[in-house]
Chains A and B, each alone.
Chain A
Amino acid sequence: MSAESTQRRAIRLAGFSLGSLVDWIVPLVNLAAGLAAVILASLLTGNNDLEQYVILLLGGMCVTLQLLFLDIYRKRKTWDIKVGLLALLALGFIAALYWIPKYLTGWQINGVIHQSLFGMIFLLAAGIPTMSVALYDLLGATPSAEDVSRYPLILTPVALALAVYLLLISQLVIQGRPGLSWEIISKPYLNYSVPVKIMIAGDWPKWSAALQEGVGIRNQILGTGLLMLMTSLISLPFGVGAGVFLSEYARGGFGNFTRFVITSLRSISMLILGFTALSLVKASSGTPLAFLFKGYQFDGFVWRENQGGTFFAASLVISLLVIPVICRATEEGCRSLPNELREGSLALGGSEETTLWRIVLPWSLANIVTGVLLGCAEAAGDMAILMFIAGRGDYGVGPFKQVTSLAYMVFDIWFGEKSFHDTMSPYQFSAGLILITMTVGLGLIALLLKRWLALRHRGR
């Protein structure tokens, strides 16, 4: 008994420990292979040189998947057909990559597609399921393991999208940061003639024109601020009024129509509003109202009409876009008021009016403020409405001067006049950086303020 049984026990122990190790290692290797495939696929987006590793990795995945296939049979005595098919799929992908030429053209497609695009797709298509089956096996093939095994499918797109956003924003910071300086922020861009007095010997002083030049984005920053201020001032009463009307008084057909219009204002193309702004400005040209909508500028010698429209005209049209935001926020705030509070006020003898001013509006203050801030961000970032009426802000910033903003400037540097492009193109990303700081900062303030105000006025 002694020698033989010891030997058998040793073998059994060795087999057992080896088996438990295999239990862990095979799915872990599969998980790692799947993860590597997803990472390689995301690296491949901008890199054609890594393409040689695709077939290598797919081949490795094919082998590890076959091992997993056998391992699952060893552990649970079932042939997991999914894993087998996945291994075959990886094999098929390798064959396809051999068959696809390195540069794919044909059918008069307007492009030359590189093979690694298919490599990317294949890696994602094989990598995510591989991670799933590996996780499923690793966690013991229970129903809850099936839930966990779906995480790769959900997390991969989320992680990739967030990575794209972060990469783009970091690029904006990297490209925009060097151009930012107090010089640029504090000076306006100037490119127009001003009258200067020229002394000519033995003669009376004469007036002549001299070109004022300067590089900077002060007027655009101030203009964005003014646009936000005017738009929120214009749209606040109408937005709150419409919101209160919709939540408190509107019944039947007229309420539905109002709701439809408010939704439509958000949904229609901003191009239409841009055309509206253009029509408004054009229609006012030559009439007494030109002062309001078209504006005048002093070009050195005479006052003449602007090329485009004023800040007032622009904020009037942008407020069409902002009113629905404030209206929706107000309505939501009013609706979230508990009925007990309203009834309590009415029971204590408060009139409908008192209830509105003392109970309903303070309650929805958090929503209103958030709506206004988001509307401001909207006004700052809007470009389509300014597209046809904005200028470069040469003549200063004021409610009745030609509208300009950072968003329009970013566009104008790209598409505008060559001289403007040449002088300002180093600061394009800087302008973008300031713009994104403004809008996202407003969003952040709105988020925090909503929480704080809700805590203060509602106690939760």
Chain B
Amino acid sequence: MNGQTKILKGSRLAALLLTLVPLLMFLAVVSNLVYASLPALTQAGLPVLFSTVFSTIFSGTYVEGQYGLTPSLWGTFLLLITALLIAFPVSLAMAIFATEFSVRGVGQAIEPVLALFSGIPPILYGLLSVFVLTAFIQPKFTGMDLPDPLLRSMPGLSPAIYVLLPRNNSILLGGIMIGLLIIPFMAPLMLDAIRSVPQSMKEASLALGATRWHTLGHVTLPAALSGIAAALSLGALKTIGEVVIAAWTIGYIANGLPVPLFDILEDKAPLASAAAGLMSGLIPGGSPRHPLDGSVAYFSGLLLLLMAFAIMGAVSLAQRYLRRRFAR
């Protein structure tokens, strides 16, 4: 639009038309989501949707129409924290190893290896979670080697003891598997961010007598913060949106807040898998049990969409601030 207007024709028109298709499809996806979640808003209402009671066929007494999404929102938050706490240090270390602290070119091999790992489908992390469960979670967190009566007589156990032993779903397991999923996506972004810091900045620091480690901590990483924030946001988006791993490792149900509030050993389903469970009526290949169930599931999808937009917006604001702060 800078002064000269060009006639739309030929490849220009074709490119525009081809671009319009995904745009319209995206708008259709969003409007379908909003339209289908309207019944939940009008019939159930916000107070019901954000209560902490979520009645399912597995929750003792099944009362239709109790759709509390707060526990699953909290579960999403706990899962996000766990996955990022696992994935962030590892991917940062990988990025540093591949760029600034590479050992004789070995670090360069990290990048193609990560590209291959990023092709592992999420479903396989779900399938392989059983090995993490038996090799780490069970020996460390379930008191597996204790006889059952002794285990149940331990002081200060969770009142929901029945979820403890026979079922081994936990937010921790989901966080580990999702962390493994997002490392190959986060590390390359951090790597690019560190690599794109101008060489002159690093050399100025080194010439002033700083060590490579000091340069990394005080020059390179601050300058790369904007890219690192982008990597974090990608990890967060992938974590909150992940359905399959969450369903496999945590389950479909979030009823009531965990006790204590930061207990990541409980199986509070995040929003994505709770919505999937609602949509399938907690039966494989099933349909919603109640007409409103499907609508509440769509509303959960809408919440996920809003959360994704919030994360994207927050990160772009943070990036703008960081660029101004570390202007180069």
Contacts and interface: CB of A to CB of B under 8 A. Distances in A.
B248 interface: yes
B241 A105 contact: no
A157 interface: yes
Given A108-B159, A249-B16, A447 B143 contact: no
Interface in B249-268: 258-260, 263, 265-266
Given A109-B260, A263-B312, A252 B1 contact: yes
Interface stretch (A53-61, A198-206, A210-218, A274-282): A274-282
Given A109-B260, A440-B120, A276 B32 contact: yes
B237 to A, nearest CB: 5
A407 B211 CA distance: 49
B140 A269 contact: no
Contacts of A150: 101, 213
Contact of B120 (A265, A270, A439): A439
A248 B110 CA distance: 33
Contacts of B26: 261, 264-265, 320
B1 A251 contact: yes
A147 B212 contact: yes
A111 B142 contact: yes
Nearest to A412: B284
Contacts of B118: 443
B140 A411 contact: no
B164 A171 contact: no
Given A388-B279, A443-B115, A113 B96 contact: no
Contacts of B280: 387-388
Given A150-B101, A411-B244, A416 B284 contact: yes
Contacts of B305: 268-269, 272
B276 interface: yes
Given A251-B2, A436-B124, A443 B103 contact: no
B21 interface: yes
A108 B256 CA distance: 14
A293 to B, nearest CB: 14
A171 B131 contact: yes
Interface stretch (B86-94, B220-228, B320-328): B86-94
B240 interface: yes
Nearest to A144: B211
Interface string A412-428: 10111100000000001
Interface stretch (A79-87, A177-185, A375-383): A375-383
Contacts of A106: 155-156
A281 B17 CA distance: 26
Given A241-B17, A269-B308, A146 B90 contact: no
Contacts of B16: 245, 249
A410 B279 contact: no
Given A238-B22, A323-B22, A439 B243 contact: no
A428 B275 contact: no
A324 B146 CA distance: 51
B22 A320 contact: yes
A267 B136 contact: no
A244 B14 CA distance: 10
Contacts of A45: 135-136, 140
Contact of B93 (A158, A262, A275, A377): A158
Interface stretch (A30-38, A159-167, A284-292, A294-302): A159-167
Q: Which of A109, A110, A172 has its CB near the most chain B CB atoms (within 10 A)?
A: A110
B90 A410 contact: no
A191 interface: no
Interface in A137-181: 143-144, 146-147, 150-151, 153-158, 160-162, 164-165, 167-168, 171-172
A263 B233 CA distance: 12
A271 B243 contact: yes
Contacts of A383: 121-123, 243-244
B120 A109 contact: no
A156 B94 CA distance: 10
Q: How large is the interface on B (under 10, 10 to 19, 20 to 34, 35 or more residues)?
A: 35 or more
Contact of B213 (A146, A271, A414): A146
B207 interface: no
Q: How large is the interface on A (under 10, 10 to 19, 20 to 34, 35 or more residues)?
A: 35 or more
Nearest to B92: A157
Interface in B115-135: 115-124, 126-128, 131-132, 134-135
Interface stretch (B47-55, B61-69, B296-304): B296-304
Contacts of A279: 32, 36
A186 interface: no
A403 B315 CA distance: 37
Contacts of A416: 284-285
Contacts of B121: 380-383, 407, 435-436, 439
A356 B11 contact: yes
Interface in B182-228: 183, 209, 211-213
Q: Which of B10, B15, B136, B304 has its CB near the most chain A CB atoms (within 10 A)?
A: B15
Nearest to A113: B141
A114 B143 contact: yes
Nearest to A272: B301
Nearest to A387: B276
19 contacts: A109-B156, A112-B141, A143-B211, A157-B94, A158-B110, A244-B15, A245-B16, A249-B16, A267-B237, A268-B304, A269-B240, A270-B241, A271-B276, A275-B297, A275-B298, A383-B243, A387-B276, A410-B126, A439-B121
Interface of A: 45-48, 103, 105-114, 116-117, 143-144, 146-147, 150-151, 153-158, 160-162, 164-165, 167-168, 171-172, 237-238, 240-242, 244-246, 248-252, 257-258, 261-265, 267-276, 278-279, 307, 320, 323-324, 327, 352-353, 356-357, 374, 377, 380-384, 387-388, 391, 407, 410-412, 414-417, 428-429, 432, 435-436, 439-440, 442-444, 447
8 smallest CB-CB distances across A and B, nearest first, come from A241-B18, A381-B121, A112-B143, A269-B241, A106-B156, A443-B119, A46-B135, A245-B15
Interface of B: 1-2, 10-12, 14-19, 21-23, 25-26, 28-29, 32-33, 36, 89-90, 93-94, 96-97, 101, 103, 110, 112-113, 115-124, 126-128, 131-132, 134-136, 139-143, 145-146, 151, 154-160, 163-164, 170, 180, 183, 209, 211-213, 234, 237, 240-244, 247-248, 258-260, 263, 265-266, 272, 275-276, 279-280, 284-285, 297-298, 300-301, 304-305, 308-309, 312
